[in-house]
Structure 1
Amino acid sequence: MRHALKFVAFGLLAAALLGGCSKKEDPVAQAAKKEVASGVPAPSIAEVKAIAEEGFIYGLPLVMNYGVMYEYIIDRNSGQYKAPFNTMYNEHRVFTYEDTAIPTPNSDTPYSLAWMDLRAEPMVISVPAVDRKRYYSVMLVDGNTFNFGYIGSRATGSEAGDYLVVGPRWKGETPPGIRKVFQSSTDFSLAVFRTQLFDAADMPNVIQVQEGYRLQPLSAFLKQPAPPAAPEVAWAKFDKDLVKTEFFEFLDTALQFAPAGADEEAIRARLASIGVGPGKKFAFKDLSLEHKAAILLGMKEGDSKVSERVATLGKAINGWNVGAAFGDRAFYNGDWLLRAAAARAGIYGNDAVEAMYPMSKTLADGTPLDGSSHKYTLSFAKDQLPPVNAFWSVTMYDGKNQLLVKNPINRYLINSPMLPAMKKNKDGSLTLYVQKDSPGKDKEANWLPAPDGPIYLVMRLYWPRAEPPSILPAGQGSWSPPAIVQAP
């Protein structure tokens, strides 16, 4: 799903010289005094830079998530606003090039979203019975970008049911009528509903399923009086330009709703040593010039490491990166760089057992894909289509910004429900034409329009088969995505 937050233009130290530089109010210096008072040496400039680098990597997914939440739920004038907290929002359409809040958005399952405030009480998600032929899933993802649970075709079946989502501090008993309890690691949590759309004429059926999704407080579900409301939050106004320097101010805001897990205590302590953390007010503009430079250089190096890690996610197979990059807290096990790379590659991605995402920007030999100067083909041999229990797709993105590509036929992907309308080769294989201009009317059914520049292709294999042929385990499966070939 976007908010890439790519810090590729810090301008080195130029930005560090902007704004005030009062050492008297320097948050890093103030934090250092507390360290000294407690018997801990104050961090040196080199250590401040190292902590900023580590803190950027650790905090990137939290800040990205905060940015999406701010645009979707908090700022009604963002242009991307969806609905208030604790309200179901249904998209009766698939995403297009006009959707810019989330990188690599899915355009083959209409979304329903529910951002939950779990501070006052838990929330109940109710799902209707869904035809077994129609795949659907509800991914529960918290402010740490941990996928902490699933409801849907694979995880819980196609039957109707009621499920409880609780906050990090909840310790109650499972109420009657609740099939399962899911616990978020943060006070605010997102439920992402994906409902399969077979074709344009199928949208009324999808809408009917979406209207069966319900969200309500536990008190309403139990028909009991509601508890006192949680206090209002003074949200930090999110700005994509400010975040380049005020990243840690936004991280302060996000961390106050994210109690530290055991695997976070060390990085939280190091961040506190430079004045970053829940209840703190890091202010970049108040830093000394030395600390501004250290913070910016640390963030820049952290940003570079995240980008490098994105490029090596998974195993390189035929020019595709095939791997598992999304999961719960146990999946990441303190690997904050993997978590940051996953968020940048496409925040809110599924666990591998729910969906696999082979990604490619190059030919098998590493040559970058470029729609401005080349045409390409992607061919699946007979009986070698992606092995899935649900469905598969190949989606085109602009390689520069990871957004969907505007094109004359409004086609952003090719997926398995489109197969009946596509043309197969005489040998039974299927060839997709990946290029910016039409390959001709006779081949247009198999055309995946490309940008006039760098290409980024993402396969989605929903509910991949576990038995051979399979893409699982990630990077070691018996099925591999075929290589993209440059046309003569």
Structure 2
Amino acid sequence: MSGGRGGRERDGTAALAAEAYVYGSPLVLALSAVEACLQEGFGVLAPTPFNSFAHAARPAVPADNVANAAVDTVDAIAQLDLSGGPVRLHVPDTGGAYYALQFVDAWSGTFAYVGRRATGTGEGDWLIVPPGWSGTVPDVVTGVIDAPTSVVSLVGRIACDGPDDMPRVRALQQELTLTHLGAHAHRTGLPAPDSDVPEALRFFERLRVWMADFPPAAADRAYQDRFQPLGLLEEGLSPYVSAGPGLLRALTQGLALGRARVAEACRYRDDAREGADTAPGAWEMNPHLFDHNLDHFGVGTISSPEWRIPDREASYLVRAVAARQALWGPHGYEAVCAHTRSDSRGRLLSGTHSYALRLGRPPPVEGFWSVTVYEVPGNHLVENPADRYAIGDRTPGVVHAADGSLTLYLSRQRPTDPGQAANWLPAPAGDFRAVMRLHTPEQAVLDGSYVIPAVERLDER
């Protein structure tokens, strides 16, 4: 137990360090992911230098061993460095097919979209410019995208109807290009933290270095001034190389407190699910998890109050939760994920039983929807003999009832009835969860007036 003035000061410094963790962890997580994309690769994507696309070779399969992998889109990711000047993005004509390119700044805030919902599916060229740029815009570009930071993550999702659709997707990948137009060479890596900083303080060192190189919006800069006593605003030599024992202890405690605060916020919705007002088997989704960007609304974004968190300081915790749970996830108006782990009576979903998902009307979307199942707790795809890992409105051969309703069957064993077999989504042997992805959801999804029916158990073994 700490005592006296020194103890109170350490406690105050630790509390401030916890605030700094909540505020800064999205920056550190996002730029650490940028580094991984440049140096090691990201998921199934190979390492790729700045201003070049990394493309997945196919939709995800179980062998990829990627948690929560989407199987009806093909990933395309590029890390942009605008320190040397603008970059031109060329997009091909997709002939009406869904795709989305999402622009995310270094602080994990999405500030622009290009794609079917945002800009249509025609061919075009977009000029992505760095903060404060005042050059001449070429006449040939479709539009300008102003980046809030000089490093931007460009996250692409191209709809794919399966292996037979990959030749079309590959053709689009070849036409999706980036061209560096700057007068100066772009960077080959991110600013490097001091390697002599001890491991216990490396989070704060990364935050210090990257916060200086990628300043946030003006309102956030005013907030981060409070972190001066932590050394986070120091320039030049790192204050953490030879930090005294008091500062080391306070920062270490603050790091643990901050992590615990974010972890507790992540658990909050799971705990709330246990409340009496939640129906058994209800599907969970949060279309407003990525509303933390309050300052930069570019091409394809919606800046109305509905899509902005009203309290700036509250937005920092939401941003930290979003970065931890689903880094680079899109706004709800672009796509949402709903998920459930239980049936209509609140029992956990398990491959030892058979289930039905009865959709009286299709989920209201302007893009497309699909359902995937993942084993838990790892949330990975599990190989099945049918080689089917998603089912939805683009799945060939699904059978609708005479009234237009659709019933999907989730089970380990293939149904013997031909109609049910056509609508079968194979489930793993053990516990699993079901995820419904809704691309460009309509308002009924976003405001909750459309309710996804609970999954029903068909047997009582």
CA shift digits 1:349-378 (9 cap, x unpaired)? 22222222223334466x463426554332
Structure 1 residues 446-465: aligned runs within 5 Å: 446-465=423-442
Residue equivalent to 1:421: 397
Residue equivalent to 1:142: 105
Measure, in 1, the Cα distance between the counterparts of 2:86 and 2:8: 41
Measure, in 1, the Cα distance between the counterparts of 2:164 and 2:36: 31
Query: Could you tell me whether the CA contact under 8 Å between 1:327 and 1:350 is conserved in 2?
Result: no
CA shift digits 1:398-430 (9 cap, x unpaired)? 442444344444433222110x32234566432
Query: Could you tell me whether the CA contact under 8 Å between 1:53 and 1:301 is conserved in 2?
Result: no
Query: Could you tell me whether the CA contact under 8 Å between 2:160 and 2:166 is conserved in 1?
Result: yes
**What amino acid is aligned across from residue 147 of structure 2 in structure 1?**
S
Residue equivalent to 2:59: 94
SS in 2 for 1:321: coil
Measure, in 2, the Cα distance between the counterparts of 1:396 and 1:284: 47
CA separation of 1:217 and 1:46: change in aligned 2, threshold 3 A = same
Measure, in 1, the Cα distance between the counterparts of 2:227 and 2:332: 32
Residue equivalent to 2:250: 291
Residue equivalent to 2:302: none
**What amino acid is aligned across from residue 456 of structure 1 in structure 2?**
R
- Are 1:106 and 2:70 matched, yes or no? yes
Structure 1 residues 58-207: aligned runs within 5 Å: 58-75=23-40, 81-99=46-64, 104-132=68-96, 134-207=97-170
Structure 1 residues 295-306: aligned runs within 5 Å: 295-306=254-265
**What amino acid is aligned across from residue 97 of structure 1 in structure 2?**
P
Count of equivalent residues: 427
Measure, in 1, the Cα distance between the counterparts of 2:118 and 2:163: 27
How far the C-alpha of 1:130 sits from its partner, in A, is: 1.9
SS in 1 for 2:284: strand
Residue equivalent to 2:374: 397
Query: Gaps (5+ residues) in structure 2?
Result: 1-5, 295-307
Residue equivalent to 2:267: 308
How far the C-alpha of 1:451 sits from its partner, in A, is: 4.3
Query: Could you tell me whether the CA contact under 8 Å between 2:101 and 2:113 is conserved in 1?
Result: yes
Query: Could you tell me whether the CA contact under 8 Å between 1:316 and 1:322 is conserved in 2?
Result: no
Structure 1 residues 234-253: aligned runs within 5 Å: 234-235=191-192, 246-253=202-209
Query: Could you tell me whether the CA contact under 8 Å between 1:48 and 1:291 is conserved in 2?
Result: yes
Measure, in 2, the Cα distance between the counterparts of 1:344 and 1:454: 24
How far the C-alpha of 1:125 sits from its partner, in A, is: 0.6
Query: Could you tell me whether the CA contact under 8 Å between 1:127 and 1:162 is conserved in 2?
Result: yes
Query: Could you tell me whether the CA contact under 8 Å between 1:388 and 1:462 is conserved in 2?
Result: yes
How far the C-alpha of 1:107 sits from its partner, in A, is: 1.9
- Are 1:273 and 2:229 matched, yes or no? yes
How far the C-alpha of 1:137 sits from its partner, in A, is: 1.6
Measure, in 1, the Cα distance between the counterparts of 2:177 and 2:98: 18
Residue equivalent to 2:215: 259
Measure, in 2, the Cα distance between the counterparts of 1:188 and 1:393: 33
Measure, in 2, the Cα distance between the counterparts of 1:436 and 1:235: 49
SS in 1 for 2:84: coil
Residue equivalent to 1:359: 339
How far the C-alpha of 1:284 sits from its partner, in A, is: 9.3
Moved more, 348-357 or 267-276: 267-276
Residue equivalent to 2:453: 482
CA separation of 1:236 and 1:93: change in aligned 2, threshold 3 A = farther
Measure, in 2, the Cα distance between the counterparts of 1:285 and 1:379: 63
Residue equivalent to 2:409: 433
CA shift digits 1:301-324 (9 cap, x unpaired)? 223333224548999676122332
Measure, in 1, the Cα distance between the counterparts of 2:204 and 2:17: 9
Measure, in 2, the Cα distance between the counterparts of 1:196 and 1:401: 25
Residue equivalent to 1:338: 318
Measure, in 2, the Cα distance between the counterparts of 1:374 and 1:49: 49
- Are 1:380 and 2:356 matched, yes or no? no
CA separation of 1:232 and 1:208: change in aligned 2, threshold 3 A = closer
Measure, in 2, the Cα distance between the counterparts of 1:43 and 1:81: 49
SS in 1 for 2:152: strand
Query: Could you tell me whether the CA contact under 8 Å between 1:118 and 1:187 is conserved in 2?
Result: yes
Measure, in 2, the Cα distance between the counterparts of 1:422 and 1:278: 61
Query: Could you tell me whether the CA contact under 8 Å between 1:310 and 1:342 is conserved in 2?
Result: no
SS in 1 for 2:175: coil
Give the TM-score of the pair, scaled to structure 2.
0.80
Moved more, 405-414 or 208-217: 405-414
Residue equivalent to 2:389: 412
Residue equivalent to 1:49: 14
CA shift digits 1:124-182 (9 cap, x unpaired)? 111122202x1122111122111111111121112211111122342434332222211
CA separation of 1:160 and 1:174: change in aligned 2, threshold 3 A = same
Measure, in 2, the Cα distance between the counterparts of 1:332 and 1:246: 30
SS in 1 for 2:48: coil
**What amino acid is aligned across from residue 259 of structure 1 in structure 2?**
P
How far the C-alpha of 1:245 sits from its partner, in A, is: 7.2
CA shift digits 1:234-285 (9 cap, x unpaired)? 54699xxx99974334433442432121332354223332223575747599
Query: Could you tell me whether the CA contact under 8 Å between 1:252 and 1:282 is conserved in 2?
Result: no
Sequence identity (%):
28
CA separation of 1:301 and 1:268: change in aligned 2, threshold 3 A = same
